[in-house]
Structure 1
Amino acid sequence: MTALHPRLVSVYDEVTQRNPGESEFHQAVREVFETLSPVVVKHPEYADAQVLQRLCEPERQIIFRVPWVDDAGRVQVNRGFRVEFSSVLGPYKGGLRFHPNVYAGTVKFLGFEQIFKNSLTGMPLGGGKGGSDFDPKGRSDGEVMRFCQSFMTELHRHIGEYTDVPAGDTGVGARELGFLFGQYKRLTNRYESGVLTGKGLTWGGSQVRTEATGFGAVYFVQSMLALSQRDLEGQRVVVSGSGNVAIHAAQKAQELGAVVVACSDSGGYVVDEAGLDIDLLKDIKNVRRGRMSDYARERGLDHISAGSVWDVHCDVAIPCATQNELGEREARALVAGGVSVVAEGANMPCTPDAVRVFRDAGVAFAPGKAANAGGVVTSSLEMQQNASRDSWTFAHTDERLRSTMTEIHDRCLSTADDYDVPGDYVAGANIAGFTRVADAMLAFGVI
């Protein structure tokens, strides 16, 4: 564990004491603080103005009850969250996650990460996050609709296109966003397209939004490889997860000439040496809502339920499943298997120990707040289209995404150079994201 600058130690101790039991939030704060020593030395005014203390305390935290009725007529009760972390750069922006492991610490860690991710894009977006411990898996469309309507009945009073703009995340796709937007429209009597992003194409959505996070991660990998005069042609790639981000990361990697040989879900993983059949994977996951075991059966492959997808040898690894999925053991397995580039497609999927293994081995490592920024980039583009009542082509939007991800990559490296940590994507991303927010906080005074 990297030692913190003395001026950061007391702030971090205060964060852990004021937020007991929220280990993911503590981890996210620590990861940022470990890279800020040169910033504190160069800009003591940030510490003098208590910018760090203010930034670690959300501007607003909302927790609410979500009652709904299942298909058997039983009343169910879930808990809803929205953490509006920072609005100094623009309206709060960040997804909604529906998963049984969601609690206050999950939402705060994601919201904290979102501040820096959104700042890195250079777009006028603040940071926030939300969700519920509701599990949509195995629920009927009617149950999901009734839950979403109850959730939005409370949430609608806290959001708006100039206030807080949620999007989808794990467990919240086109179906859920449709139900959420329909209830918002019903309650407010306004067709306010800009209040949610990730919407369907026929009712205010943007081309490429579905693909954006996965595509963006691969565009970031492209830039990483280009530094050593390489590209994705012929690269052996492993992607974890098989949700929206993983599928589209695999799709774009294969379009650019890579061979994506493995992906996974919570039940295990599949190795497909010929390269994943993306159309079949989309059909199983998005249409049939099936499992990787179904993919294995239909392709005549083994479904491996023991071990880890990271045991599969690869040149490029793109973890796209969930936080802290890739630990020290998995990192060592990847290094032994010859990995040269790791880019986080999910939010904080690599543990601090795993990141240290990659750094010690000379593996190029891109954190999620940089490599995972494609989703929010295209959300911002969706907001622009909504504001102007416009609709852009897939090719135009995809090019905007690609160019912005390249800019984020270059911003990370140039910032790392400016602070004498050349090539360190983690430090570059954290410092670039932090300083933009910190400068705005100083400009606004004590608020």
Structure 2
Amino acid sequence: MADVENYIKNLKEKITNRDPDQSEFQEAVFTVLDSLKPVLKKHPEYIKANILGLMVEPERVIQFRIPWQDDTGNFQVNRGFRVQFNSAIGPYKGGLRFHPSVNLSIIKFLGFEQILKNSLTGLPIGGGKGGSDFDPKGKSDSEIMRFCQSFMTELQKHIGPDLDVPAGDIGVGGREIGYLYGQYKRLNGSQNGILTGKGLQYGGSLARTEATGFGLIYYLDALIKDQNDTLKDKIVKISGAGNVAIYALQKAQENGAKVVTVSDSNGYVYDPNGIDLATVKQIKEVERGRIKEYAEKIKSAQYFEGSVWDQDIEYDIALPCATQNEIDEKEAQMIVKDGVKYVAEGANMPSDTGAIKVYKDNKVIYGPAKAANAGGVAVSALEMSQNSERLSWSFEDVDKQLQSIMKDIYEKTAAADKEYDLGKDFQAGANIAGFEKVAQAMLAQGLV
């Protein structure tokens, strides 16, 4: 075990010295490294081949400028990224994020997580991520179109249906994907498989919009059933009000749970009668409004500024679906105090390391993002398959495959937890199950 400890310690030091300012990337990688110690002890060949040393270094990092013109005629410049992290099991696959917080550390953390997440789906896709520090909020459709066209003019040099297939993420929805795809097509001709999350009129997949939120509940349902429990009559808090939150809300309600919160970057609404799905969809998907408007329309609801996780009410399940590190140690302690039994993550790394420790110390069953929110990328991969076959599958067919994939992801994490005697540590189980497939592929392919 000493060799394992030294290997991990030296690797952490190398990462810290090489990228000292990339705190998000370090947080994501170090958590995974610590959880893989039992695997390295059992498989010393991974240390000999320095598989983890290869895996934590991206195969390629692309950074570029994005010049565009706003509606007043002023010239603007943003920064763009694409990190092509690991292609051992398939072409790079991962979303594009447009948000002011985007930097290389965040894109690298997301890309690294994507390697393991994509592996867990069982589909032949590698890990990648990209985006820009551009903020779509408050921009006109024309400004967003010009930005997307400039972004894709550079990105198109580095992607392809069998090389790297981006999708959407925070700030990149159907509108942005349409503009991005149009520019790619203009420069390269029609290749439907170059982006996923496309509109149904030009190669998109039914159930893609719902996939991450539905998949979160399918994963949670499998986890809860394995604890001899049920979603029915559970009280649920959800953060966020985008696609993931909305469709997690819908599927949770269909399974008999009562969701009492949704939020956005300004605050949250609490509705003790249960959130009205149609009203949230109208505000966020049609009007592109703020979540505080819910309380203006629904008399039983109250709006509060701040974090939904600071609110003190009794509930059973926490589903963070907003953004990374939205729950810290203090808020996790509040979650425990409120009697929560399960936390399942719809966003990428929404709980920081201190929060995760609180969950585990207090026996809260924790479903990590790389397992629980893999439904989006799973259906993206199914969209790639449909594009390759020039077919369009029914909503029911895609949804059935999604249910099967999410159940299988839970079963893989539970099996790894049992094999390595982790004590219902499904975070470590997910890391191990995702890692072993990638490691075996990397070992087979040699020093590349």
Q: Determine if the TM-score, normalized by the shorter chain, exceeds 0.5.
A: yes
TM-score, normalised on structure 1? 0.98
Q: Separation in 2 of the partners of 1:228 and 1:55?
A: 34
Q: Separation in 1 of the partners of 2:295 and 2:348?
A: 27
- Partner of 1:135 in structure 2? 135
- Partner of 2:197 in structure 1? 198
How far is the alpha carbon of 1:68 from its aligned partner?
Answer: 0.3
- Partner of 2:434 in structure 1? 433
- Partner of 2:268 in structure 1? 269
- Partner of 1:230 in structure 2? 229
- Partner of 2:124 in structure 1? 124
* Cα shift readout 1:325-355 (whole Å, capped 9, x = no counterpart): 0011111111111100000101100011111
Q: Give the share of equivalent positions with the same residue, in percent.
A: 55
SS in 1 for 2:289: coil
SS in 1 for 2:238: strand
- Partner of 2:251 in structure 1? 252
* Cα shift readout 1:284-327 (whole Å, capped 9, x = no counterpart): 11111111111111112321014534524320111001100001
SS in 1 for 2:35: coil
Q: Separation in 2 of the partners of 1:129 and 1:378?
A: 17
CA contact (8 A) 1:40 1:47 kept: yes
How far is the alpha carbon of 1:19 from its aligned partner?
Answer: 1.1
Q: Separation in 2 of the partners of 1:229 and 1:310?
A: 30
CA contact (8 A) 1:120 1:370 kept: yes
How far is the alpha carbon of 1:89 from its aligned partner?
Answer: 0.5
Q: Separation in 2 of the partners of 1:99 and 1:144?
A: 13
CA contact (8 A) 1:82 1:130 kept: yes
CA contact (8 A) 2:309 2:335 kept: no
Q: Separation in 2 of the partners of 1:8 and 1:298?
A: 54
Q: Separation in 1 of the partners of 2:83 and 2:267?
A: 32
Going from structure 1 to structure 2, the CA distance change for 1:373 and 1:307 (only over 3 Å counts) comes to closer
Corresponding letter in the other structure for 2:411: D
How far is the alpha carbon of 1:422 from its aligned partner?
Answer: 3.7
Paired residue total = 443
Pair 1:394 & 2:395 matched: yes
TM-score, normalised on structure 2? 0.97
Q: Separation in 2 of the partners of 1:17 and 1:307?
A: 34
SS in 1 for 2:30: helix
CA contact (8 A) 1:269 1:309 kept: no
* Cα shift readout 1:345-369 (whole Å, capped 9, x = no counterpart): 0110001111111111111001100
- Partner of 2:108 in structure 1? 108
Q: Separation in 2 of the partners of 1:364 and 1:126?
A: 28
- Partner of 1:335 in structure 2? 336
CA contact (8 A) 2:239 2:308 kept: no
Q: Separation in 2 of the partners of 1:91 and 1:306?
A: 40
Pair 1:218 & 2:217 matched: yes
Corresponding letter in the other structure for 1:170: I
SS in 1 for 2:408: helix
Q: Separation in 1 of the partners of 2:369 and 2:227?
A: 22
Q: Separation in 2 of the partners of 1:417 and 1:13?
A: 31
CA contact (8 A) 2:23 2:105 kept: yes
* Cα shift readout 1:401-437 (whole Å, capped 9, x = no counterpart): 0111000000001011111214211111001111111
How far is the alpha carbon of 1:47 from its aligned partner?
Answer: 0.9
Pair 1:406 & 2:412 matched: no
SS in 2 for 1:100: coil
Structure 2 runs not aligned, ≥5 long: none
Q: Separation in 1 of the partners of 2:84 and 2:252?
A: 34
* Cα shift readout 1:203-240 (whole Å, capped 9, x = no counterpart): 10001100100111111110111022222111100001
CA contact (8 A) 1:39 1:431 kept: yes
- Partner of 2:63 in structure 1? 63
SS in 1 for 2:156: helix
SS in 1 for 2:346: coil
How far is the alpha carbon of 1:6 from its aligned partner?
Answer: 2.0
How far is the alpha carbon of 1:76 from its aligned partner?
Answer: 0.5
Structure 1 runs not aligned, ≥5 long: none
